Structure 1
Amino acid sequence: MSISSTRTSGRRRLPLILAAGCSTAGLLALTAPTASAVTPLVATATYNCGSWGSGLATLTAADNGTTKTIKITSSAITMPVGTSADPNSITTTLKLTKTVGGVTSQVQFSAKTNPGMSGGNPITLGPLKLTSGTLAAGNSTNSVVLPTPPSSTNWSLQIVASSPTSATVPCVATSVQSASHVW
């Protein structure tokens, strides 16, 4: 009788199917980027942005395994009354100190990403992408504190609006962050 040969054939295929499935899953796990946890996700620091105001700004960090970003929001820093910005018309650059094993250097985040904004309303800038320098797991970043007043050569955060209002707004961090971001 051949009843047992049918069952044996099915049993032989199962390990082969499982092995192929595990190999595929393992390959995908090796090639897919993994999200890295940034801690804390949210930190605050104070900035002086001249005519755009001074005060507390919130820096929200994210790392999806491929791209590291920081979004800046503030109700203390606003566009002057009578001005406005179209969506994605503000280029923002943020300088941060990077510390690795006691050695300090600098990284920059930048992007032309913003919602439409009008004078007197809180700013929302970003998410800004890491554009200069590198960050690895365990590296920490913090605001670059500089003396006031901000200027074209003395800035920690630079906001360049282009439409319909044109303005270059240098800002200096006047405090370190409430907590460093650890990537």
Structure 2
Amino acid sequence: MSSNRRHIPLVLAAACSVAGALALAPTAQAVTPLTATATYDCGAWGSGLATLTAADSGTSKTIKITSTAITMPAGTSADPNSITTTLKLTKTSGGVTSQVRFSGKTNPGMSGGSPITLGPLKLTSGTLAAGDSTNSVVLPAPPSATNWSLQIVASSPTSATVPCVATTNQSAPFVW
């Protein structure tokens, strides 16, 4: 038996092993669109357009929030991963409306005047199935401890709880 023939079963076994692993791995789901914008009022932290970027890995659904209009106030700062952020979104599934929340403690270091970068925030409350859509929870201004669509809680070195209200729907709802 030639050496090439002896390697064929090994190559086939390796190929089958890889195919089996890929078949069992969760597949990434498409979210459309990948980004949307909405306007938020965050009081002393500013008001304006924020970009929401959605992702679905198959095992985790996330949203990242960035904005050059919403910034850390002068004289404040935040260490990396020291801001707990919670985002409320309206969910529509089969004509039924409810609410989901995305939350996390992921941020770069920021200082006074820095645009916000928050997340990716993971889905922590509610469920999302294929075909469900989510959109901003639009609320009247001013934001408060009980009236918020987005809440930013900074803990180090600056301590602050910043409620924000979405003042517009997203430019397009996310469809999961």
TM-score (norm 2): 0.91
Q: Which of 121-130 and 20-29 deviates more?
A: 20-29
Q: Which of 94, 98, 105 lines up with 2:98 in the alignment?
A: 105
Q: Kindly provide the CA deviation profile for residues 107-142 of structure 1, in whole angstroms up to 9, marking residues without a partner as x.
A: 100000000001111100001011111111111110
Counterpart of 1:162 in structure 2 is 155
- Say yes or no: does 1:142 pair with 2:111: no
Distance in 2, matches of 1:43 and 1:137, equals 18
CA distance in 2: counterparts of 1:114 and 1:126, whole angstroms: 6
In 2, Cα distance between the equivalents of 1:154 and 1:181? 23
Following the alignment from structure 1 to structure 2, what is the Cα–Cα distance between the partners of residues 17 and 165?
A: 59
* Corresponding letter in the other structure for 2:96: V
CA RMSD of aligned residues (A): 1.8
Question: Match for residue 65 of structure 2?
Answer: 72
Letter in 2 for 1:126: G
1:174 aligned residue: 167
Letter of the 1:181 partner, please give it.
F
Length, aligned pairs only: 174
SS of residue matched to 1:115: coil
Post-superposition shift, 1:82? 0.6
Is 1:123 aligned to 2:116, yes or no? Answer: yes
Stretches of structure 2 lacking an aligned partner (at least 5 in a row)? none
Which structure 1 residue ranges, 4+ long, deviate > 6 Å from structure 2? 16-19
Where structure 1 has 5 or more consecutive residues not aligned to the other structure, the ranges are 1-5
Q: TM-score, normalization: structure 1? A: 0.88
- Larger CA Rg, structure 1 vs 2: 1
